[in-house]
Amino acid sequence: MRAQGFPPIARADARILILGSLPGQESLRRREYYAQPRNAFWRVMGALAGFAPELSYAARKAALLQGGVALWDVCRSAVRAGSLDASIVAGSVVANDFAGFYAHHGAIALVCFNGRTAAALYRRHVSRTLSEQLRALPCCELPSTSPAHAVLSLETKLEHWRVALQPVASRAGRR
């Protein structure tokens, strides 16, 4: 079945772009990024940005925006059975319009990938379509917050994310 992604959550002054691969089944059903209750994304971002992960979806999105964080997925659409990234059919991927996104979000200083698959999809389907300047944006592959990536504890994932996002988040706070 072909899954359709969501529009980005972003303000024009966002400094950090966090990219997943494609929303899972629960996210698609609820029309919310990272809606799977066992996905650690909102717990990680809540700890880093100082909000309770139990807040409403609208409040969590607002906290990301206030913190200079944009959220999107690499895939605009793809064929996938279930929710696992490993089930994305490689030849079915249609990437989002990143050149257009970056044109309207010129303050992006760091691109973070929520897991290995998002990073690989970006390299395969997006990087080669971007200008040299956009290809030079710093990128960071972070441990997936997915419950399928259980090899690392929540605390370890949180520390990886904190180290990666802290320098850019700190600069954003001094504006």
Q: Active-site residue numbers?
A: 39
> Tokens in use for 20?
């997943």
The conformation of residue 143, written as its DSSP 8-state character, comes to -
Q: Is 153 helix (H, G, I), strand (E, B) or coil?
A: coil
Q: Sheet of 2-4: strands edge to edge? A: 2-4, 75-79, 94-95
Under a CB-based contact definition with an 8 Å cutoff, are residues 14 and 72 in contact? no
Q: Which of 114, 128, 130 is nearest to 165 (CA)?
A: 114
Could you give the residue ranges of the DSSP H alpha helices within 89-153? 98-104, 116-125, 132-135
Q: Which of 96, 80, 84, 103 is nearest to 19 (CA)?
A: 96
